[in-house]
Amino acid sequence: MILDQFKLDGKVAIVTGAGRGIGQAYAIGLAEAGADVAIVDVIPMDETIAAIQKLGRKAIGIKADLSKGEKEAPKIVAKVVKALKKVDILVNNAGIIRREPFTEHSAKNWNDVISINLSTPFFLSQAVVRQMIKQGKGGKIINIASMLSFQGGILVPGYAASKGGIKSLTMLMANELSKDGICVNAIAPGYIATATDDLKGICVFLAAPASDYMTGYTYACDGGWLAR
């Protein structure tokens, strides 16, 4: 039955930045589809964990400074494997934004944004992929892009560069990892309230067997914004 292709029973997912907002919705959506979930954040994660456990799924919280992705990534994966035995799905959701005109954008703001929005997804994906290859059963990686992966925007040079980079990194990863049965796609959210369920569906779809023939693409979920 086709609906079985959307089930995530027995899968283990990692979702970064899931203590609240869109990341929380992703994590709960994956749990509603049957996955156990590891949440990575620097803020309290109790609310998200409780919501997942209420669904009868396992949930763990991992506090990590994602500005130090190269150092933290292997530790995160090791903790997940120890607690939940494997990793099948990664959602690179955590991100920040700094608003300044191009001519005034500070080195600190540039480096902070690039570190969390682009470098950390690279390092965490790298650590997760090594685990997936070891497991030998493929996997799904979902990066979080933006409307600014397609448009330039204004006053957010670091953010625009990082999200354009995410789109390109998604394609590269898809090209290199398809041989290992790992699908890599990205979601580009439109302008929405962050406490929303609007993006649960696309996240579950890209994590599930239903999307096994889809890799390397950035999916705009924007209410028609890019059609203007």
Which of 159, 191, 217, 219 is an active site residue?
159
Report the C-alpha gap between 127 and 15 in whole angstroms.
14
Contact 143, 184 (CB under 8 A): yes
Distances (CA, A) of 207 to 76, 102, 141, 152: 20, 36, 7, 28
Query: Cα Rg for the chain, rounded, in angstroms?
Result: 16
Known active-site residue 159: yes
pLDDT tens digit string along 181-207?
999 999 999 988 766 889 999 999 999
List the one residue out of 135, 159, 136, 137 whose CA is nearest residue 148.
159
DSSP codes, 20-63: SHHHHHHHHHHHHTT-EEEEEESS--HHHHHHHHHTT--EEEEE
Rounded to 5°, the CA angle 49-51-53 comes to 65
Strand blocks (E) in the chain: 12-16, 36-41, 59-63, 89-92, 139-144, 182-189, 218-221
Contact 173, 128 (CB under 8 A): no
pLDDT tens digit string along 38-97?
999 999 999 999 999 999 999 999 999 999 999 999 999 999 999 999 999 999 999 999
pLDDT tens digit string along 147-176?
999 999 999 999 999 999 999 999 999 999
What is the predicted pLDDT for the residue at 193?
75
pLDDT tens digit string along 8-40?
999 999 999 999 999 999 999 999 999 999 999
What is the predicted pLDDT for the residue at 124?
98
Structure tokens, 45: 């994660």
Q: In terms of DSSP bridges, do strands 182-189 and 59-63 run parallel, antiparallel, or are they unpaired?
A: unpaired
When pLDDT is cut at 50, 70 and 90, the band that residue 103 belongs to is very high
What is the predicted pLDDT for the residue at 16?
98
The number of angstroms, rounded, from the C-alpha of 119 to the middle of its chain's C-alpha atoms is 13
Q: Across the chain, how many H-helices and E-strands are there?
A: 7, 7
Mean pLDDT, range 104-129, rounded to an integer: 98
List the one residue out of 131, 158, 41 whose CA is nearest residue 27.
41
For helices 157-177 and 120-135, the axis angle rounded to 10 degrees is 20
pLDDT tens digit string along 122-147?
999 999 999 999 999 999 999 999 99
Residue 218 main-chain phi, psi, to 5 deg:
-105, 120
